[in-house]
Amino acid sequence: MTDVSNSSSVEQENRRIRDLLPSGEKRSRLRRWRGVKDHSARYVIAAFGFSVIIALALIFVYLFSEVMPMLQPASVGEVSQYDSPGGNPAQTVQVASDRHRELAVRFTDDRRAVFYRPMTGEVTREYDLPFPEGVTITARGRAEPRTRLVAYGLDNGQALVTRHTFSETFEEGRRRVEGAIEYPLGDEDTALLDVVEDGTPITQIAVQEGSSGISVVAALADGRLRLVQFETTTSFMTGETTVERKVYDLDQPSDEAEITAILLDITMQNLLVGDSAGRVHYYNVRRPAQARIMDSRRVIPDPDASVASMEYLLGTVSLIVGGTDGSVGQWFLVRDEDNVQRITFVRGFEGHDAPVRVIAPEYARKGFATADEAGRVKVHYSTSHRTVIDTQVADGPIRVMGFAPRANALYTVDENERFRVVPVSNPHPEVSVRALWDRVWYEGRSSDEFVWQSSSATDEFEPKFSLVPLTVGTLKAAFYAMLFATPLAIMGAIYSAYFMAPRMRGMVKPTIEIMEALPTVILGFLAGLWLAPFVENHIPAVFSLVILMPVLMVAFAFLWTRAIPEAIRVRVPPGWEAALLVPVVLLVGWFCVASSPLIEIAFFGGDLRQWLTDVGITYDQRNALVVGVAMGFAVIPTIYSISEDAVFNVPKHLTQGSLALGATPWQTVTKVVLLTASPGIFSAVMIGFGRAVGETMIVLMATGNSPVVNFNIFEGMRTLSANIAVEMPEAAVGGTHFRILFLAALVLFILTFIMNTAAELVRQRLRRKYSSL
């Protein structure tokens, strides 16, 4: 009877289940709907996957589009040429123009200054310069181009110093440029300066203007070298200006060689004299009465060649020398081991096949042009060590040449007084592989170095765009952050996933993961304003913690398992032993901080920072140690979370099988769990590394932002990302600095892309290797 009733109830249950099941038609519709959802999910996921790839590609394309203009070569446009403006057959001794290339000025040897339209040659105004009748211009020299100061030496021992000016006015929305001639040491009647009283002709002349007046250096036909200072004083009460003349005769550089060029720097303390023997002589004229030759160097490679032309670059630090052998070289003064300035060769440039007769420096950059007797012109840039333009301009010798103030045109005059305007497109001459990634010998340095310094307070500053300090700084910050974070994160992940009690794991894991939500600007703020001074005042405590903390933790664990009675140990539930280490950690930390001053007094003379300085180790308050700790805290949650999931998700049958075969829990972790979880752990480390490489705010606020090239843990650094954040707001859009910052972003993008790609390849290999476990 019981069996019959059971059978009946089973049939009823089966009938009820069949009634609940959908009919055949409904099942067919459900299968079709499931297929639609499956296909939709497949295509949607694929679309989003491709969207990520497309987004990365677009980022790369955008960054490269901003960098691309720097890679384009310099070029010249269509040359405009015409005969001398106004048809004046006199020889031209100087040409210059305003910044808009709307008005130019031409100085001639028949005592005239002619203002004209540089593109057409149309004369707009002429000035008669106050030269005495019957005298001849025998020498010409110009000051630093931005001063627009020109000096003319005469055959009667006098000199005329003039300044051409350009003024802009706007009428009915149109710009109008007008030119004028000024005499900085007086008016037209008192413009002539007496360099020598006996009427000896001047053969070479140099001029420079300072805050107190003008200095003129002249080589005379009888071999003498004279420095004349014209100091101006303006009366506060009457406004009357008086000029005081001081004369100093300098030692002759050589009795055998003729002086071919003279240059005086803007400080009016350094005088360089070139001669026909191919040598340059350096005078220190800071105290003119005691001036003497400090150094002499042969600057022309060919022993039979002489100095044909010589010019300062912007700032009057670098000397460009052109030889009769066609050579072009850069030199500047460098202090030797005895603290004496010596003329030092820096770099050579692509030479000419004919003597270099004219050198024209740019107004606002460290570029210059050279022209030879065959009419060939080359444009060079000193810092990047490049010859960016090489073009044939004339069929014969070029006598006069000058840059437009914006370096977008060259004005040349040949021996037949044929004027040419050469449009120049050279927006980014500072950039080259060598300038970005190799050592460069910058002005004012004693040797070639890796330097990033994009701006300064002076207009004649030489930009330094080496990406090496920024790249090294990025890797340095990431290295110390990973050195701090990786062991803690991985070991913590292993313990919490494998050894920790589930209830305790449920509290610890979310707490660590929520640290990732902490804004990095807060971490950077704390690191810069609290951690950095704390570490500086407790340096021994930091290293004591590194040594004592693991040792005492292991010692406590040993005592717990060996010295503590089992009756006490069993009161602590399995997996809760880590809680016992909290007092140990706090006690060891307090002990290390409290004993830090005692350690300094006992072993380091009371000041460890000074001790480090004495042994040659630089210590900066905001250094890599501080960054490593602060950025390590930002990276730990990422590495910990992914590693913990990888360890926790190791199949239980593997660990249980290992334990069943007699392996200890530690052997199971090292021989089974870690191998199986290694792809996930490796991914966690690489993702953490990418996070550290791209970090901005912490390194911005806690490093000092010093672009140095070393891995000294006690010095700071500047990273690519922090540099972009600091300098992008002040960079001129479209300028070289602006585009190099985009190049830095591209380098950072490529660096992280390569690292992530390599990490994925290694992860896949590890996954295939241990998938059979």
What is the per-residue DSSP string for 581-636?
A: HHHHHHHHHHHHHHHHHHHHHHHSTT-HHHHHHHTT----SS-HHHHHHHHHHHHH
Residue 14: its pLDDT value, please? 67
12 pLDDT above the threshold of 80? no
Q: Which of 168-182, 184-198, 544-558 has the lowest mean pLDDT?
A: 184-198
Q: Which of 357-361, 532-536, 579-583, 717-721 has the lowest mean pLDDT?
A: 579-583
Confidence of residue 219 (pLDDT cuts 50, 70, 90): very high
The predicted model gives 271-292 an average pLDDT of 90
Neighbouring-strand partners of residue 280? 274, 297
Q: Which of 235-239, 277-281, 383-387, 507-511 has the lowest mean pLDDT?
A: 235-239
Q: Among 584, 683, 142, 701, which Cα is nearest to 400's?
A: 142
Task: Return phi, psi of residue 410, to 5°.
Answer: -120, 135
Residue 760: its pLDDT value, please? 82
Residue 190: its pLDDT value, please? 75
235 pLDDT above the threshold of 60? yes
Residue 131: its pLDDT value, please? 86
Amino acid letter, 124: T
Residue 115: its pLDDT value, please? 94
Alpha carbon distance 706, 465 (integer Å): 14
Coil, strand or helix: which one is 340?
coil
Confidence of residue 253 (pLDDT cuts 50, 70, 90): confident
The predicted model gives 154-181 an average pLDDT of 90
The predicted model gives 535-550 an average pLDDT of 91
Confidence of residue 5 (pLDDT cuts 50, 70, 90): low
The maximal CA–CA distance of the chain, rounded, in angstroms, is 151
Q: Among 260, 264, 311, which Cα is nearest to 288's?
A: 264
Length of the chain, in residues: 773
96 pLDDT above the threshold of 90? yes
Residue 16: its pLDDT value, please? 67
431 pLDDT above the threshold of 80? yes
Alpha carbon distance 495, 488 (integer Å): 11
Give 613-668 pLDDT, tens digit per residue.
Answer: 888 888 998 999 999 999 999 999 999 999 999 998 888 888 888 888 888 888 88
**Burial letters 551-567, b for 16+ CB under 10 A, else e:** ebeeebeeeeeeeeeee
Alpha carbon distance 587, 51 (integer Å): 52
Coil, strand or helix: which one is 257?
coil
Task: Identify the helix (H) or strand (E) that includes residue 754.
Answer: helix 736-770
Confidence of residue 7 (pLDDT cuts 50, 70, 90): low
The predicted model gives 555-560 an average pLDDT of 88
| Cβ count near 645 (within 10 Å) | 15
Asked whether the beta carbons of 148 and 96 are under 8 A apart, the reply is yes
Residue 773: its pLDDT value, please? 58
390 pLDDT above the threshold of 90? yes
Q: Among 100, 96, 95, which Cα is nearest to 170's?
A: 100
Distances (CA, A) of 355 to 159, 273, 289, 309, 609: 28, 19, 36, 9, 58
The predicted model gives 695-712 an average pLDDT of 89
Residue 130: its pLDDT value, please? 87
Q: Which of 128-132, 407-411, 426-430, 492-496 has the lowest mean pLDDT?
A: 128-132
Confidence of residue 771 (pLDDT cuts 50, 70, 90): low
150 pLDDT above the threshold of 70? yes
Task: Return phi, psi of residue 53, to 5°.
Answer: -65, -45
Q: Give percent of the chain above pLDDT 70.
A: 96
Residue 444: its pLDDT value, please? 86
Give 13-63 pLDDT, tens digit per residue.
Answer: 666 666 666 666 777 777 888 888 888 888 999 999 899 889 989 999 999
Give 463-484 pLDDT, tens digit per residue.
Answer: 999 999 999 999 999 999 999 9
The predicted model gives 545-550 an average pLDDT of 91
Residue 254: its pLDDT value, please? 78
74 pLDDT above the threshold of 80? yes
* Mean pLDDT score of the chain: 88
Residue 664: its pLDDT value, please? 87
Residue 672: its pLDDT value, please? 87
Residue 271: its pLDDT value, please? 93
Asked whether the beta carbons of 211 and 229 are under 8 A apart, the reply is no
Asked whether the beta carbons of 126 and 141 are under 8 A apart, the reply is no
Task: Identify the helix (H) or strand (E) that includes residue 107.
Answer: strand 104-108
Asked whether the beta carbons of 496 and 509 are under 8 A apart, the reply is yes
Residue 22: its pLDDT value, please? 62
What tokens does 281 get?
A: 């002589």
